[in-house]
Amino acid sequence: MRLITVVAAVLLLSAGSALAQSSEPGIAVGATAGTSGVGLDVQVKIGPIFTLRGSLDRLTYSADKSYDGIDYQGDLTFDTVGGFIDMHPLANGFLISGGAYVGDRDIALAATPTGPVEIGGQTYTPGQVGTLNGAIKLSGVAPFVGLGWDDTFYRSGRWGFRAIAGVAWSDEPEVALTSTGGSLSNDPAFQARLRDESQDITDESGGYGLFPVIQIGLNYKF
């Protein structure tokens, strides 16, 4: 019983010391990298527990992707600004983060079929289709929640390490698909098929509404 009392007293004194050390305001800047891209962060400490954080992130990525049996070249570009509140409930590096990413989050698609393809339930030849161009546009606002570690304001040195994992989510993406250079590119019936195909791509890309965020960074405290 006495041992438990001593341990509890030590823990309380340690927590009180950490709380006192972390109560001073502070500002930090940092560089980050992860699934949200590469970016810059600015943090403002507003108390022993809470930190306000703003970010600028850019993510570019290219990959082949097949939708509804058609192979596309996909180019992803995310340019976002983030605003977050990081809560450090134990007055140490452990944090719970909430906020949102705001900005352009688009995936450009391009395909030039070399054989017959099915579009909107109808089969067409490459000469009829020409080149397909599309865009998957995610909503401009993506709320975010996550857990992580950031000891920037909870250590004596100027440098701090940051790591966070969470998820951002958004509404169902908007998809637009067009055709150029084909004999039916301007045909109203074919354009109606393209709209049907756009809906099929929307259904297949619905998982893009959930975006995992894994990020590490290095901060400098002023």
**128-151: per-residue pLDDT in tens?**
999 999 988 888 899 999 999 999
165: nearest Cα among 142, 145, 181: 145
Q: How many residues does the chain have?
A: 222
Angle value at C-alpha 135, between 178 and 72, nearest 5 degrees: 80
pLDDT-wise least confident of 18-22, 87-91, 141-145, 168-172: 18-22
177: nearest Cα among 105, 107, 121: 107
Can you give the three-state secondary structure of 158-199, one letter per residue? Answer: CEEEEEEEEEEECCCCEEEEEEECCCCCCCHHHHHHHHHHHH
Q: What is the pLDDT of residue 25?
A: 63
**207-220: per-residue pLDDT in tens?**
667 889 999 999 99
Distance CA 127, CA 113 (A): 9
Strand segments, DSSP code E, in the chain are 26-34, 37-45, 50-67, 70-87, 94-111, 117-119, 122-124, 131-137, 141-150, 159-169, 174-180, 210-221
Domain architecture of the chain: domains with CATH: 24-221 (2.40.160.170)
**179-188: per-residue pLDDT in tens?**
999 999 999 9
Can you give the three-state secondary structure of 63-75, one letter per residue? Answer: EEEEECCEEEEEE
The reported pTM is 0.77
Distance CA 170, CA 138 (A): 7
